Structure 1
Amino acid sequence: MSELAQKLFVWNTEELKALSESNAIVRNEQSGEIMIKKRLDNINVEIMQKLCSIRHRNLAAVIKVTKENGSFYSYSEFVPGRSIQSYIDEGKIFSEEEALKIALQICDGLEKLHSNGIIHRDITAANIILSYDGNVKIIDYGIARTAKENASRDTYILGTAGYAAPEQFGFSQTDERTDIYAVGVLVNMLLTGKFPNEEMCSGRFKRIVKRCTSMDSSDRFSSVNELKSELSGPKVFLKNDDGFPGFRSQNLIIKILASLIYFIIIFIDCALVSSTYTGKGLFRAVLQCVNLTVAFAVPFCLICNPYDIQGKIKHFSAMKDSTKIAIRVIFSIIFLLGGFFIMLSLF
């Protein structure tokens, strides 16, 4: 049978299970293949036809689009497995390692869609299937659209509450960053079982989730590839900012070394203050104490970020890494040099 004839040929299918009024699990009576049959709105037909030519291990394949009795239907790959939502409903909280593996596979699937000019617009826990072989599949392209460079906003306002980015409510046009917003929400859901506005995840993913879910799309990662690079980058960029530096790790040796370093710093500060008191009196000793505290504390907070102080500063967590590094370096140098010269003047 030619490719054209195959496209026009209407399959005989047996319905195995109705999923909704427009969705059902069916079996192709000719091949025995199990598929998802879905009735399409007219606005979805072109997208679904385009998806027929796209194949990726992290995307549920759209096999065929047909017209039956005046309505369009899509036949998609049936993915044996469970949705992430079903695990969350059971109270499962995923580990950081599990969340990372899932997020990277979602990014891979989205990267394939975006490279073909398609925005999914409905990345949710219910639309991500964990197959029994450990693979992640994105399903349900029901509200996907093609990217349009010159449009100011979407024609239709669609999306799932909690996962939908602000632009999906008519404020501006959706693009790749709309899916990135949903990925951030989903990662938070994996780690906490809740939406970011209910409970923000802690640990190394906190900064990434905050940037993904920025209200202003220009503050998010600009592409799925950039997000993927951040997720899979060196651990220094994914470090856990919760807790006090030196005591975030469960490693006893690191804790002992950190305690020793803190003791030495405090001892030096006390010696300098004592020397100032002996030579210049109480008033200058107090000034020296304040000066040394500020000169060390500010760079310490900028570089080590104890208890994720920086994450609590509005807009800071959404900044690009290069901007944050520049701010940390410049202000650390200013306070260290300033403290050094003030210290000398107080002796």
Structure 2
Amino acid sequence: MENINSEPALFYKEINPLTDKINGPMLVQKIDTKELFVKKCYPLYLEEHLTTLKTIKHAHLPKIQECIIQDGKLWLYEEFVQGKTLTEVIQSSERLETEKIVTIAMAVLEALGALHKKGLVHRDVKPGNIMITNEETVKLIDFDAVRTVDGEKESDTVQLGTMGFASPEQFGFAESDERSDLYSLGVVMNICSVKEYPKKHLTEDLILRGIIKKATKLEPTERYQTALEMHLALRQQLSKQRTAAKQNKRQISTSKKRPVNITMNARPFTNRWGTNTYVNQVVTRGRRVLDSISLFFKKFIPGFRTEKIWKRVVALFFYTMLFVSIVGNVFGQPTRSLKISEFVDYLFIFIIPMLLFTNFLDYQRKLPLFSSDNKRYRYIGYGVLFLFWVVITKAGLELNSYIYKQIN
């Protein structure tokens, strides 16, 4: 861990307090560079989390300059973000355009993805903690409620969050994790759209409704599981909206330019390749298919569910070798019955255990032992899974051998 001391505090000059609270945020200026920062007091138990936060450099997160312990208090010096909070933007507008809501949400998801990658959960995503800078850049701020994901606790040690935006698990029902932040962002999006909580009035916007509904499910397993998954869903919806808008614009433009055809029975000649509309539709559909395939791999296929390149390379190599081995050995058999017998052997010895023990299609979330927060129960679950594989493999191979003998 980084050595934290009070010496760097000497290089900053206090300008003025930003609130009337005691030990509230203070605007300070670094003496040598003249840069402005916000000096804010945090609880000492957040020292390790904020030190980790300092290592994250991201366009949608404020720059953390210093973590200093001084007079028994922890002070964080972070970038002074000039602009408006999303709360102020919402209050000053009758309604935000759908595309702007999606753009803001995607930026917040990118910030959350950076936090989650380091094992941190923000736990207080709300309009007041989302800044829109003077340059129209979105920044997720305020880390009073940040914590790390433990994975072994039944609930959070410190229950924090803003009522209405915080997920159910943040109030003692379970341990909060990445999905808790996605729940809060879903609420924020609904507030942006109709200025109401989704429980009271879910937006009717066709682009946003389905995404908000899924993000704010009470059961975490039914929500988006990662910031990347929700980001892809928003990107697809945004792409649909832009494509539809372009098509409408072209149709209006074409109808204005099209001459009146006074021949009642003549059918005007149209060449669908003569305009870009058809090509754009094909390209858009292709992108949707690729996005769907990418999302499927990242969500379900072992080895591709993380952002680590080396794991994906190893997984791709393993799947390729397994496929080549199966095809080579199965189709190398001289008779049809031997081909079937060889494939069944591969099925029980290699394919089934791979599917079982790598949690293919995330099926373990639906099993009681694996969905438990207790590590001991999960170990028992793997033991039961191993016995299950041994039993079905023995039975399957014996049946395969018996059938082969009967045929031949």
Q: Which has the higher contact order (CA 8 A, sep 6+)?
A: 1
> Is the partner of 2:196 in helix, strand or coil?
coil
Q: Quote the offset at 1:5 in angstroms.
A: 9.4
Per-residue deviation, residues 248-293 of structure 1 (Å, max 9, x unmatched): x9989xxxxxxxxxxxxxxxxxxxxxxxxxxxxxxxxxxxxxxxxx
Q: Closer, same or farther in 2 for the Cα pair 1:219/1:50, shift >3 Å? A: same
Instruction: Specify whether residues 155 and 91 from structure 1 end up closer, same or farther in structure 2 by C-alpha distance, changes over 3 A only.
Output: same
Tell me the residue number matched to 2:270: none
Contact 1:16 1:27 in 2 (8 A): no
Aligned 8 A contact 1:231 1:238 in 2: no
- 2:229 is the alignment partner of 1:230: no
Corresponding letter in the other structure for 1:114: H
4 and 122 in structure 1: CA distance in 2 versus 1, 3 angstrom threshold:
closer
Residue of structure 2 equivalent to 1:68: 70
Shift of 1:118: 0.5
Query: Where do 1:128-277 residues align within 5 Å?
Result: 128-203=130-205, 204-233=207-236
- Find the aligned partners of 1:66 and 1:125 in 2 and give their Cα distance: 28
CA contact (8 A) 1:205 1:238 kept: no
Instruction: Give, in whole Å, the separation in 2 of the partners of 1:120 and 1:137.
Output: 13
Aligned with residue 56 of structure 1, among 55, 58, 63: 58
Equivalenced residue count is 243
Matches within 5 A, 1:311-326: none
> Who is 1:345 aligned against?
none
Shift of 1:33: 1.5
Q: Provide Cα deviations, 1:283-313, integer angstroms capped at 9, x if missing partner.
A: xxxxxxxxxxxxxxxxxxxxxxxxxxxxxxx
SS in 1 for 2:208: helix
User: TM-score under structure 2 normalisation?
Assistant: 0.56
Which SS does the other structure have where 1:133 is aligned?
coil
**Cα 1:113–1:79 shift into 2, 3 Å:** same
1:34 aligns with 2:36: yes
Deviation at 1:92, TM superposition (A): 3.9
Q: Name the structure 1 match of 2:9.
A: 10
TM-score between the two structures when normalised by the length of structure 1: 0.65
User: 1:237 Cα shift?
Assistant: 7.6
Alignment check: 8 A CA contact 2:42 2:76 kept: yes
Match of 2:103 among 92, 101, 104: 101
> How far apart in 2 are the matches of 1:73 and 1:109?
22
Cα distance in structure 1, aligned partners of 2:79 and 2:235? 29
Task: List alignment gaps of at least 5 residues for structure 1.
Answer: 240-248, 253-321, 323-347
- Tell me if structure 2 keeps the 8 A contact 1:91–1:193: no
How far apart, in 2, do the equivalents of 1:156 and 1:4 lie?
A: 25
The alpha-carbon deviation at position 161 of structure 1 amounts to 0.9
Secondary structure of the 1:10 match is: helix
1:208-235 per-residue CA deviation (whole Å, 9 max, x = no partner) reads 1011111111110011111011111156
User: Are 1:83 and 2:82 an aligned pair?
Assistant: no
Deviation (angstroms), 1:100:
0.9
Give the equivalent residue in structure 2 for 1:341. Answer: none
The answer for unaligned runs of 5 or more in structure 2 is 243-247, 253-360, 362-408
How far does residue 238 in structure 1 lie from its aligned partner after superposition?
7.5
Compute the displacement of 1:40 (Å).
1.3
* Residues 1:152 and 1:100: Cα distance change in structure 2 (over 3 Å): same
Calculate the aligned-residue CA RMSD, in Å.
2.6
Question: Cα offset for 1:128?
Answer: 0.3
Query: How far apart are the structure 2 equivalents of 1:219 and 1:61?
Result: 34
Per the TM alignment, residue 6 of structure 1 is displaced from its structure 2 partner at its CA by: 8.9
Contact 1:37 1:75 survives alignment (8 Å): yes
Tell me if structure 1 keeps the 8 A contact 2:37–2:78. Answer: yes
Question: Structure 2 counterpart of 1:88, which letter?
Answer: I
Q: Is the 8 A contact 1:36 1:76 kept in 2?
A: yes
Distance in structure 2 (CA, Å) of the matches to 1:29 and 1:35: 11
Q: CA deviation at 1:190?
A: 1.0
Q: Distance in 2 between matches of 1:165 and 1:54?
A: 25
Q: Match of 1:150, SS?
A: coil
Q: Which amino acid in the other structure matches residue 223 of structure 2?
A: R
